[in-house]
Amino acid sequence: MKRYMILFSAVLVLCALSCAELEEGKTKSIETHVQIDPETLDVLRKINSVSAYEVPDLGLPADDIYAKTAQDVEPFRHVKPFKEHFLIQVEYTGPGRALPEPQDLETVKLGFIGPIMSTVSVATGGKSHEETLGIKMLQGARLAIEHANAKGGYFKRNIPFELVVTNDNGLWGASGNEIVNMVYKDKAWAILGTIDGANSHIAIRVALKAEIAMMNSGDTDPTFVETNIPWAFRCISDDRQQGYLLVDYLYRKLGLKRIGIIRASSRYGRFGVREIKDGSRRLGNPIILEMAYNLGTRDFSLQLERLRKENLDAIIHWGDAIEGARILNQMRDMGMKQPYLACDRCLSDEFIEIAGKNAEGVICPSPWNPKGKNKRLTEFRKAFRKRFGEEPETFAAHAYDGMNMLIWAVQVAGLNRAKIRDMLAYRGTPWKGVTGDIMLSACHDDVGDVYLAKRKNGKWNFYSREDLKIPRGYISPRDRVSRPPAISSNIKLRTME
């Protein structure tokens, strides 16, 4: 009885507090049909209370340091820069929050853009090459929509979510047209996509003009978020984070010195290795040789002969799985026995099928741990297998998370593009996804943990930095402009275990 009395009293107090708070703030009624934490409720109250001319006083999320960058791999670390970007969130100051929710909808449309149909590749002039990834991405997004609809769809109106699917055909510029169509013709409320770095950039430029949130779950180009667009988000760790881990592993852990790179002559290849090259140079081990190949190449002897002559300690590949596997096979055929490290796109069945036993010992960075002990992941795997008859991989899992983040934002914010953006931008707690906890940085990037995958006994094993005891460079707790520049290069910086 006593227990019930306490419970009853607590409910009364909570009700009283809740009423008092609403009265005091004189906010509009909070119409939400999902469970939300007090912090989110506060954000919702504030964004619901502003006029077309006001900006909600929410305080801007800020980071002390950009992208968890160690001091010894910061660019121009001995100089105090005049300005450091991306530490404070760029806010949306337009009038969009005052737009009323439409009443006459039959579905809530969410956009999808990804490479799902074969077309001409800009890079090769031949067949495009990213459909295998895009189709996985679509499967993940579709499953998220289906799960949301099974739970009742858009709760506020009891109407289903509808996925508006468009093909990112790989031709530069086409993604811009697709975003325009999704915004103005299909009237989507938010969009997920895409994979290609160039097309993703094009898409978010349109999203900025048209004012619609874009969640990216497949483009690991570090520059995607380095654009200051308040409408762009990413829920996958990028090549910067993966590059930092590789650099730490190669130099701080293994103590290697002579590293070579072979990469695709594409934006993905070019930008993917940038942090590895910069990090290597800044740690005193400049990349010995970097060779590029055209997409679709089958014979890599020219590149490999040059690399062989350099007596390298290890070789890094950045490109697609097929080329990655062929390069590995040719390396081994040529008697090159160096450790082979490849980008996360090589963590695929395609790579294993082509590389065969040569895949043994290959190391890849991974934006997540697909073998992590996570109940959500287990359930997702089960549901994915049941729905599509196959295993989910990186692109499917991240798309599932990304689409679920958008659905959550819609459920909480209602049908208003600016408020959907706000919910993602001001979320104060990590998103509990199937790929792990996703906490967005001030510039809306997923800077969560990345992993190293090692192929052993025919299986990929995933290791965290801690598992492998990979040292990390000292990360300053202060931004670069307000702290003294790094000490002279000939004095070794502190290393954190």
CA nearest to 213, candidates 234, 198, 199: 234
Asked whether the beta carbons of 475 and 69 are under 8 A apart, the reply is yes
Choose which of 25, 75, 286, 430 interacts with other proteins (CB under 8 A). 75
Min separation Cβ 98 and other proteins, Å: 9
Q: At its nearest, how many Å lie between other proteins and the CB of residue 91?
A: 8
Q: Which residue has the tokens 């999902």?
A: 34
Question: Please, which residues bridge with residue 88 across strands?
Answer: 62
82 burial via Cβ count (<10 Å: 0-12, 13-18, 19+): exposed
User: How many of the other CB atoms lie within 10 Å of CB of 101?
Assistant: 13
* Given 18, 93, 294, 495, the residue binding other proteins (CB under 8 A): 93
- Judged by CB, which is closer to other proteins: 63, or 313? 63
Pairing of strands 340-342, 213-216: unpaired
Show the tokens assigned to 204.
Answer: 């978010």
If the CB atoms of residues 208 and 468 are measured against other proteins, the closer one turns out to be 208
Which one among 3, 23, 82, 492 touches other proteins, defined by CB under 8 A?
Answer: 82
**Nearer to other proteins by C-beta: 186 or 313?**
186
Contacting other proteins within 470-489 (CB under 8 A): 480
User: In the set 159, 180, 336, 493, which binds other proteins (CB under 8 A)?
Assistant: 180
> In whole angstroms, how far apart are CA 213 and each of 35, 57, 140, 159?
22, 20, 19, 21
> According to the binding rule CB under 8 A, does residue 451 interact with other proteins?
no
Residue closer to other proteins by CB (options 36, 210) is 210
Candidate residues 223, 265, 330, 464; the one interacting with other proteins per rule CB under 8 A: 223
- Going from the C-alpha of 11 to that of each of 3, 8, 36, 90, the distances in angstroms are 12, 5, 17, 39
Compare residues 84 and 350 and give the one whose CB is closer to other proteins. 84
Are 398 and 367 in contact, with CB atoms under 8 Å apart? yes
Binds other proteins (CB under 8 A): choice among 28, 127, 151, 209: 209
Report the DSSP pairing between strands 340-342 and 314-318: parallel
- For the bound state, the minimum distance from the C-beta of residue 439 to other proteins, rounded and expressed in Å, comes to 19
Q: Which is nearer to other proteins, 90 or 415 (CB)?
A: 90
Query: DSSP assignment, residue 28?
Result: P
206 is a contact residue toward other proteins (CB under 8 A): yes
User: How many residues sit in the footprint of other proteins (CB under 8 A)?
Assistant: 41
> Of 222 and 319, which has the nearer Cβ to other proteins?
222
Count of residues in the chain: 497
Binder among 58, 64, 172, 460 for other proteins (CB under 8 A): 172
Q: Map residue 460 onto helix, strand or coil.
A: strand
List C-alpha distances in Å: 197 to 31, 182, 363. 38, 20, 24
| Residue 315 Rama label (left phi>0; alpha psi -120 to 50; beta) | beta
Which of 223, 330 has the CB closer to other proteins? Answer: 223
In the range 97-156, which residues lie near other proteins by CB under 8 A?
none
Query: Which pair of tokens denotes residue 450?
Result: 């990345």
Give alpha helix (H) positions in 181-334.
197-210, 239-247, 267-272, 274-282, 301-308, 321-333
Asked if 85 interacts with other proteins (CB under 8 A), we say yes
Return the SS3 of 442.
coil
Shortest approach of other proteins to residue 416 CB, angstroms? Answer: 15
* Residue from 228, 311, 429, 482 binding other proteins (CB under 8 A): 228
Q: Which stretch binds other proteins (CB under 8 A): 36-44, 83-91, 285-293, 407-415?
A: 83-91
List 227, 265, 297, 464, residue binding other proteins (CB under 8 A)? 227
Instruction: Name the CA dihedral angle for 204, 205, 208, 212, rounded to a multiple of 10 degrees.
Output: -40
Closest approach of other proteins to the CB of residue 175, in Å: 9
One symbol per residue from 27 to 66: x for binding other proteins (CB under 8 A), - otherwise; what is it?
------------------------xxxxx----------x
Q: Toward other proteins, which CB reaches closer, 192 or 198? A: 198
Nearer to other proteins, 51 or 103 (CB): 51
Q: Which stretch binds other proteins (CB under 8 A): 85-93, 133-141, 144-152, 257-265?
A: 85-93
- Contact between residue 314 and residue 341 where contact means Cβ atoms under 8 Å apart: yes
- Return the closest-CA partner of residue 402 out of 267, 245, 246, 200: 200
Q: For residues 284-313, which are near other proteins according to CB under 8 A? A: none
Q: Are 97 and 423 in contact (CB under 8 A)?
A: no
Q: How far is the CB of 479 from other proteins (least distance, A)?
A: 10
Minimum distance of other proteins from residue 222's CB (angstroms): 8
Contacting positions for other proteins (CB under 8 A): 51-55, 66-67, 75-76, 79, 81-86, 90, 93-95, 172-173, 176-177, 180-181, 184, 198, 201-202, 205-206, 209-210, 222-223, 226-229, 480
